[in-house]
């Protein structure tokens, strides 16, 4: 191809492309939720404490009694909960859309860039 043809083609292609951009759709995140995530929100304090304590035990950690617990926030596609055990250890419990739980000590969350634990004062002493 000659240089003259290429230089003539570029402006023609640029002009043809003007005004033909694809309409943009607002991007909304896809949220996947499980029944387990939703049910945890519906539990009373005692039953929520039992569920969170089981998640802590299943992770290989010890929690004889949950003294406080509460919902923290959604983090990516995980529901984040916090539980304070009678041994004064605070736990972050992340419940996934597949019903699995990931448990971390609250004191370790900053190291991993995860949200801080927050226990609502209205959610006192459960199970």
In a domain? residue 42: yes
Average pLDDT, the chain: 81
Predicted pLDDT at 124:
40
Number of domains, the chain: 1
**pLDDT of 103 strictly over 70:** yes
Taking only the tens place, the pLDDT of each residue in 34-51 is 777 888 989 999 999 999
In a domain? residue 81: yes
Q: Which two tokens stand for residue 29?
A: 């995140």
In a domain? residue 51: yes
**pLDDT of 2 strictly over 90:** no
Residue-number span of the structural domain to which 108 is assigned = 35-112
**pLDDT of 122 strictly over 50:** no
CA dihedral sign, ordered 106, 112, 115, 116: positive
In a domain? residue 105: yes
Taking only the tens place, the pLDDT of each residue in 55-89 is 999 999 999 999 999 999 999 889 999 999 999 99
Q: Which two tokens stand for residue 52?
A: 């969170």
What's the alpha-carbon Rg for the chain, to the nearest Å? 25
Q: Is the pTM of this model over 0.85?
A: no
Alpha carbons 83 and 76: distance in angstroms, whole number? 20
Name the helix (H) or strand (E) containing 100. none
**pLDDT of 127 strictly over 50:** no
CB within 8 A of 102, min separation 6: which ones? 59, 78, 93, 94, 96
**pLDDT of 12 strictly over 60:** no
Of residues 126 and 18, the one with the higher pLDDT is: 18
């Amino acid at each position: 191809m000659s240089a003259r043809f290429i230089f003539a083609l570029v402006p023609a292609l640029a002009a043809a492309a003007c005004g033909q951009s694809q309409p943009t759709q607002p991007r909304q995140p896809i949220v996947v939720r499980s029944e387990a995530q939703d049910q945890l929100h519906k539990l009373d304090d005692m039953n929520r404490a039992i569920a969170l304590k089981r998640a802590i035990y299943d992770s290989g950690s010890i929690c004889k009694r949950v003294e406080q617990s509460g919902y923290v926030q959604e983090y990516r596609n995980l529901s984040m909960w916090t539980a304070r055990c009678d041994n004064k250890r605070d736990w972050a419990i992340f419940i996934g859309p597949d019903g699995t739980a990931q448990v971390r000590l609250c004191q370790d969350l900053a190291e991993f860039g995860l949200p801080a634990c927050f226990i609502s004062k209205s959610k006192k002493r459960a199970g």
